[in-house]
Amino acid sequence: MAPSSSSSEGVDDWVPPSRRPELADVVPVPQDDGPHPVVPIAYRSDFREVMDYFRALYFAAERSVRALHLTAEVIGLNPGNYTVWHFRRLVLEALDADLQEEMNFVDQIAESNPKNYQIWHHKRWLAEKLGPDVANKEHEFTRKILAIDAKNYHAWSHRQWVLQVLGGWETELQYCNQLLEEDVLNNSAWNQRYLVITRSPLLGGLAAMRDSEVDYTVGAILANPENESPWRYLKGLYKGENNLLVANERISDVCLKVLKNDWTCVFALSLLLDLLRIGLQPSDDLRGAIEAMKNSDPETADADLATAICSILQKCDPLRVNYWSWLMTTVSPQI
């Protein structure tokens, strides 16, 4: 049974709309499924009655307190009904309602339905209306949701929107550090970190942050070489600037350090291959490391460096063997 949205009464005290004095003048509008529905839905009686009364107010375009209360009741029964959320926004605007109170209402719904798109859309609408003063509160709310589910796309999307529109950048890099300390495999936190260093108006942009971020990322790679996220993050720090990527010896060095311990690390091999393809001049250490790997595979004995790495990747990464085979045909011989 559905509780009343206009009181704190329990489920047992729920009163059907047809018995509420404030709705006595409303003629309910039943759902029209046509004369011969193929598979009629067996709605619960309380759901059907609440929707019939909501439909009547919706078709009448009524903007009233009772309409607002009824939308809350429908949302309690089905928080994914986008028509109800849209109508609720129209009523809120018409009544010049307290939007901070509305945000508190939505937060309660969102905690129980954290992956409901309609709820997050409504929160964004409210936050946009309320302005920068709610930025910190919205960040705290998304923190709460992400503490339960670190990969909640809706929470991350909302958090990023709030940052870019309402602000709150001051502690965001620290938050990313915290998340990655808790779980360095959290690819969502790596993605957020990239947003912060590239978009924050407080950090000076990617060029200013690149050097320290390379150090941070190299440390994360050496701590867990099989974690794909920092490898991708490292390349992202040089997006569109291959000349700087090749010139930074720390990039090739981390590949070599990882490969000396595990010559089958696909991420290290792949990045090293990318470096060779865009102009890295092989060092003696690099040649020695590749030669050591080639000794374990007679088929690569006479191959150049890039070709040898492709051959090794064919065996280390069988899911993409066709890709590595194709790539082998495109690489230029390395001296």
Q: Which two tokens stand for residue 164?
A: 């870019």
Q: Is 115 a catalytic residue?
A: yes
Rounded to whole angstroms, the Cα distance separating 188 from 201 reads: 21
> What pLDDT does residue 36 have?
80
The predicted model gives 47-54 an average pLDDT of 96
Rounded to whole angstroms, the Cα distance separating 158 from 142 reads: 8
Output the DSSP codes for 26-87: ---------SS-SS-----HHHHHHHHHHHHHHHTT--SHHHHHHHHHHHHH-TT-HHHHHH
Query: Is the separation of the CB atoms in 305 and 265 below 8 Å?
Result: no
Rounded to whole angstroms, the Cα distance separating 272 from 189 reads: 25
> What pLDDT does residue 6 have?
40
pTM of the predicted protein model: 0.87
The predicted model gives 33-61 an average pLDDT of 90
Q: What are phi and psi of 49, to 5 degrees?
A: -70, -45
Model confidence over 168-223: pLDDT tens digits? Answer: 999 999 999 999 999 999 999 999 999 999 999 999 999 999 999 999 999 999 99
Q: Which of 115, 137, 144, 260 is catalytic?
A: 115
Query: Is the separation of the CB atoms in 97 and 77 below 8 Å?
Result: no
Model confidence over 62-95: pLDDT tens digits? Answer: 999 999 999 999 999 999 999 999 999 999 999 9
3-state secondary structure of 173: helix
